[in-house]
Structures are given as structure tokens and as C-alpha cells.
Amino acid sequence: MDNKKGKIKLTFLGTGTSTGVPVIACNCEVCQSLDQRDKRFRTSALLSIGDVNIVIDCGPDFRIQMLRHQVDNIDAVLFTHAHRDHIAGLDDIRAFNFILNKTIDVFGSAQTLASVKEQFPYIFAPGRYFGAPQLNMHVIDDNPFQIMGVDFTPIEVLHQEMKVFGYRIKDLTYITDANHIAPEQLDKIRGSRVIVLNALRNSRHVSHFSLSEALEILAELNPERAFLTHISHFLGKHDIVESKLPPGVHLAFDGLQIEI
């Protein structure tokens, strides 16, 4: 199949911040909500184009996310950055190694992959430990690149002072963990029909967009549809927040699938 021409299907595997929702020991109305849309794994997504499956970030909930969605094959892991809530599930890649008898390609910036190697030294040690994940590491920069025939354009954003990559794939742009996007990077996003953007909470935060900041960016870029992710319990209950959003803007939730 020509993967450049296939439809994009994006599955939100997780839409929560680093603590997940509900938060351990929290009795707030969001954490006690019975609405399944208020139960959020750490942020991750599955990008399916043609016959290619690419996971964007694999945090500590990766194993259960794969089981929940009955994912029996992935072709690559694409990292946005190396914070633990985005990489902690890397060890579970070995299940795909064993069952499918293949090595998995991993893509990220030089800084991200260096941090991955520091945090998982046994995977990369000389005389590899039997049972460790089998990975092909690929360094990317701010230039466009391909994964199995699928074109990606990196969008460099700031997560406080940390450089994080979002990605544009055809008419979809996916950005998480950002609190600033420079004008030249915004230009890379313009024209996207669908934008996924982080919105942590209602008040300002040092390293994430607040809801109002995210909505301001989306109003400028004016996509057909937008979905907010990397959400904390401080944002509020899903149904209440969703009811107040502008037309075309939605709160993403775990398990949501969209096609572009």
C-alpha cells in the first residue's frame, strides 16, 4: 500500500498529564468522576496510515494501552521528548520483538535519544542483556523525514526551556508538552485541517499551555477541528469543559479515534 496516500487514523491512547487522572489519593470531583472520559492515561497516540502503525511516545501506561486497544503490531516509536511520562514504557517494546520477531525503529532528537540511553542503560550496554528490547535508534533534527514512506515535519516547541518536537503529518499536527511556539514554527502548522494541542489546566503553568492559551493559538491557526490533550484534573470534568469550548474544538479522551 502507498502509505503516502492512505488515510490517517489517530487513536488517543492517553490524554492525561504526568500524574494521570485520577491522581493517586485525590478526592476532587474529577478524580472521583464516573465518566470514563475523565480517566486519563499518560499522553500517547497511535498513528495508523495505510499498513503502518507508529506510536507517538510510550509512557508508563504503554503496556495496558497496547492491550486495551488490541494493538498486535507497531512499526516505530516516535518520541516528542524524554520526560518519563513519555518514555517510561520503552521496555515493553520487547513483547513486539519476541512475538513478531523484529527490531523496532525508534526516532527522536539527539538530546532525546541520549536521555533514553541514560535512563535505560541495560538496553544499550555492550553484550546486550538477553530480554532487553531490540531497537534501531534514528536521530532526527528539525528537517522533514520519513518513516516507512510516511512524511513527517518536526515542529520545534518549548516546554519551559526544553526543546520538544511536535509533528505534522499531512493535514494533522500533533503537539504536546508546550508552552511556547515561535512564529516560524506556527507557520509550519498553518493549513493543518486537524490540530492536537496540549491544554493542562485553566491557570497559567511554567511549561504547559493553559486552556485559554491553547484556545488563543487555535483561534489564530483556525483548523477545521482541534483536540486538546495532556490534561490534568485541574482543568475540570470533561462534559463541563467540553460544553464551553468554541465550535470545532474538543477535549480528547482516552480511546478517541479520529480520521483525516
**What is the pLDDT at residue 167?**
98
Cα 40 to Cα 59: distance, rounded to the nearest angstrom: 12
**What is the pLDDT at residue 2?**
58
Report the predicted TM-score, pTM, of the whole model to 2 decimal places: 0.96
**What is the pLDDT at residue 192?**
98
Looking at residue 36, what DSSP letter applies? G
**What is the pLDDT at residue 3?**
60
Q: For residue 56, give the CATH number of its domain.
A: 3.60.15.10
**What is the pLDDT at residue 92?**
98
Number of structural domains, the chain? 1
Grid cell 468554541 is found at: 246
Does residue 248 come out as left (phi exceeding 0), alpha (psi in the -120 to 50 range) or beta? left
Give the pLDDT of the chain (260 residues) as one tens digit per residue. 456 668 999 999 999 999 999 999 999 999 999 999 999 999 999 999 999 999 999 999 999 999 999 999 999 999 999 999 999 999 999 999 999 999 999 999 999 999 999 999 999 988 777 789 999 999 999 999 999 999 999 999 999 999 999 999 999 999 999 999 999 999 999 999 999 999 999 999 999 999 999 999 999 999 999 999 999 999 999 999 999 999 999 999 999 999 99
**What is the pLDDT at residue 234?**
98
Element (H, E) at 107: strand 104-108
3-state SS class at 2 = coil
Q: Is residue 198 part of a domain?
A: yes
**What is the pLDDT at residue 126?**
86
Nearest to 231 by CA among 244, 217, 214, 248: 214
Q: Is residue 174 part of a domain?
A: yes
Reported residue count of the chain is 260
Nearest to 43 by CA among 212, 253, 257, 251: 253
Q: Quote the distance between the C-alpha of residue 15 and its chain's center.
A: 8
**What is the pLDDT at residue 85?**
98
Cα 189 to Cα 3: distance, rounded to the nearest angstrom: 21
Q: Is residue 137 part of a domain?
A: yes
* Structural Rg of the chain based on CA atoms: 18
**What is the pLDDT at residue 130?**
77
Q: 40 lies in which domain range?
A: 8-250
**What is the pLDDT at residue 4?**
61
Q: Is residue 140 part of a domain?
A: yes
CB 58 within 8 A of CB 87: yes
Q: Is residue 259 part of a domain?
A: no
Q: Is residue 70 part of a domain?
A: yes
Q: Is residue 120 part of a domain?
A: yes
Cα 260 to Cα 204: distance, rounded to the nearest angstrom: 31
Q: Is residue 189 part of a domain?
A: yes
Cα 16 to Cα 210: distance, rounded to the nearest angstrom: 14
